[in-house]
Amino acid sequence: MFRKNIAGVDTIRNIIVRSNSYTGKWVLGKETCNSRSFSTMTQLLTKTTGQEKATHADSETAPKTAQLLAKQDKYTLNTYARPPIIFSHGKGCRVYDLAEREYLDFTAGIAVNALGHSDPEVAHVISEQANKLVHLSNLYHNEHAGELAEYLVESTRAGGGFEASKVFFTNSGTEANEGALKFARKWGKFYGKKGINDGSVNTEKFGVISFSNAFHGRSFGALSATPTKKYQSPFTPMLPGFVSAPFNDLNKINEFVNDTTCAVIVEPIQGEGGVWEASVPFLESLRKRCDDVGALLIFDEIQCGLGRTGKLWAHQNFPKSCHPDILTMAKPLANGFPIGAIMISKRVADIIVIGDHGTTFGGSPLACKVALNVASRINTPKLLENVNNVSGYLFSSFERISKKFPSLISTIRGKGLIIGIQFTRDPSPLLKLARERGLLIITAGNDTIRIVPPLILNKEEAKKGIEILEECIEIFNEQS
């Protein structure tokens, strides 16, 4: 028993080591030692933080890893803070580093690998099509772009999604948003105030409204709609006409969206911003206001679409009165093979003509063939049911864990397999703690851990991930 924790407060790696005046020993959590030397303290710290249980310590990577990292560092322009490990292969919901250590993947390449890693069918389709025709450019038709467009439009309509009509293929999510914003700018020119086409070219309707915490990409158009300061400020000025409004604030919609607005762009569930779901009244009011002022409503479903919420599209969780004119998608569309798409309603398609937009790689036979395989396998009752079942298990587990650590975890948010765990302090140390125990997780927004595993995650894998994460949260909690 400790009588009192007196003075001796030593901080090594932000951990407080207390002296026990009763026994004269140094104490950290449940561990004690006699000496206050740095090495003893470090050992104590290691024991207490559960570091000895780290099965995948960063320091124990394969010898080849350090060499390769040093070599790559010399030539790679690095804009990411990455751990000192190199992944070489994956299977299903697991990935392996060069030291052959296995990790359970709760990140899916940031909501990309919906069907998991090294999916045999995807590998087969890639190989088969690569042996036939990889690329031809958009100067010619190919067999698969039309087939994929038809699948996306028809399955969106059949599943109760918005009134989709046509699709333009891109190479990434950012590029899909760029195209959508360009289409909206043309819409503004064409239709002018109140959405009426009187034959004149309207030059004043070019405003784009996005929302706080939104993430739409890093190119100039997409970045201008991404109001996070750290992303924008090194590259200002942003494009003219882009304004950010508060997310989910109904009272501000009329103030921001007006006759000069050509588009409103919104994620039905914000991903990077911290897993924040738009409310039905908010999206309904946006839809109504867009109609009133003749602006287009763009849903960015790049992260939350394609099965992640347990339906093909996130907007299918919302009533028709919320539905968009344009939907952008990318990430899981070809399970990691790069492709994005802009899906538009007929009235938008009607104003886009030959020459308005283009791309060299977008809509290649290879990307489209893979995407058709992936999208049609995501959009099956079995897979979507799995998302809902595993989601239920994860949510109840996170709720239980949050009750165990009420001062550390405040809320659990999200839908399906896009889940945000809101911490009361920066949870980024959890990434290393989890990784060193064989679990990959990521953060989002402010003090949020984001869980976006492959959609094929099963209950056993979910359980294993929860066990690791719970242990890490316990350690993290002791570190406070």
Ligand X SMILES: Cc1ncc(COP(=O)(O)O)c(C=O)c1O
273 lines the binding site for ligand X (CB under 6 A): no
Q: ω into residue 237 within 30 of 0, thus cis?
A: yes
267 binds ligand X (CB under 6 A): yes
Which residues fall within 8 angstroms of residue 305, CB to CB, at 6 or more apart? 312, 313, 314, 327, 329
Question: Which residues in the 65-94 window bind ligand X by CB under 6 A?
Answer: none
Angle at 211 between CA 264 and CA 304, to 5 degrees: 85
Using CB under 6 A as the binding rule, whether residue 277 contacts ligand X is answered as: no
The correct pick among 216, 289, 315, 369 for binding ligand X (CB under 6 A) is 216
Site string for ligand X, 364-403 (x = CB under 6 A): ----------------------------------------
Least gap, CB of 225 to ligand X (angstroms) = 9
Backbone angles phi, psi at 199, to 5 degrees: 90, -15
300 binds ligand X (CB under 6 A): yes
Q: What is the DSSP letter of 209?
A: E
How far is it, in rounded angstroms, from Cα 272 to Cα 421? 13
Q: Which of these segments, 9-17, 56-64, 296-304, 457-465, binds ligand X (CB under 6 A)?
A: 296-304
Place of tokens 């056993």: 460
Is residue 211 near ligand X by the rule CB under 6 A?
A: no
Contacting ligand X (CB under 6 A), which of 271, 365, 420, 427? 271
Q: In whole angstroms, what is the distance from residue 332 CA to residue 303 CA?
A: 8
Residue among 65 and 270 whose Cβ is closer to ligand X: 270
What token pair was written down for 331? 């990430």
Query: What element of type H or E holds 105?
Result: strand 102-105
Q: Residue 137 — left, alpha, or beta (φ > 0 → left; ψ -120 to 50 → alpha)?
A: left
Which residue number is nearest to ligand X in terms of Cβ?
173
User: How far is it, in rounded angstroms, from Cα 349 to Cα 163?
Assistant: 12
- DSSP assignment of 334-355 equals GBTB--EEEEEEHHHHTT--TT
Q: Which is nearer to ligand X, 418 or 472 (CB)?
A: 418
| CA 269 to mean position of chain CA atoms | 10
Between residues 329 and 408, which has the closer beta carbon with respect to ligand X?
329
The nearer residue to ligand X, 277 or 300, going by C-beta atoms, is 300
Closer by beta carbon to ligand X, 56 or else 331: 331
Site for ligand X (CB under 6 A): how many residues? Answer: 15
φ, ψ for residue 422, nearest 5 deg = -85, 120
β-pair partners for 19: 6, 26
Taking the least distance from each CB to ligand X, the nearer of 223 and 457 is 223
Cα separation, 196 vs 295, in Å, equals 11
Candidates 106, 183, 215, 313; binder of ligand X (CB under 6 A) is 215
Q: In the range 445-474, which residues lie near ligand X by CB under 6 A?
A: none
Residues 423/66, Cβ–Cβ less than 8 Å: no
The residue range among 24-32, 203-211, 264-272, 405-413 that interacts with ligand X, by the rule CB under 6 A, is: 264-272
Q: Which lies closer to ligand X via its Cβ, residue 107 or residue 174?
A: 174
Q: Which two tokens stand for residue 88?
A: 């070489």
Instruction: Choose between 215 and 282: whose C-beta lies nearer to ligand X.
Output: 215
Smallest distance, ligand X to C-beta of residue 268, A: 10
Does 223 interact with ligand X (rule: CB under 6 A)? no
Among 174, 335, 373, 443, binds ligand X (CB under 6 A): 174
Q: How far is the CB of 216 from ligand X (least distance, A)?
A: 5
Torsion angle defined by CA atoms of residues 367, 93, 311 and 390, in that order, rounded to the nearest 10 degrees? 180
CB-nearer residue toward ligand X: 216 or 435: 216
What one-character-per-residue DSSP string does 386-409 give?
A: HHHHHHHHHHHHHHHHHHHSTTTE
Q: Which of 224, 244, 303, 316 binds ligand X (CB under 6 A)?
A: 303
Site for ligand X (CB under 6 A): which residue of 262, 264, 297, 302? 302
Instruction: Report residue 278 as tokens.
Output: 């738009």
Q: What length is written for the chain?
A: 480
Residue placing its CB nearer to ligand X in the complex, 339 or 473: 339
* Out of 105, 178, 272, 461, the residue judged to bind ligand X by CB under 6 A: 272
Of the candidate residues 50, 92, 173, 188, the single one contacting ligand X (CB under 6 A): 173
Q: Which is nearer to ligand X, 49 or 170 (CB)?
A: 170
Structure tokens at 65: 């890893």
Please give the DSSP secondary-structure letter assigned to residue 427.
Answer: -
Tell me the closest approach of the beta carbon of residue 177 to ligand X, in angstroms: 6
Cβ pair 344, 166 in contact under 8 A: yes
Judge whether 309 and 415 are in contact, CB under 8 Å: yes
Residues 322-361 that bind ligand X (CB under 6 A): 330
Among 172, 213, 386, 422, binds ligand X (CB under 6 A): 172
Nearer to ligand X (CB atom), residue 174 or residue 364: 174
* Distance between CA atoms of residues 39 and 476, nearest Å: 22
Residues that bind ligand X (CB under 6 A): 110, 172-174, 177, 215-217, 267, 271-272, 300, 302-303, 330
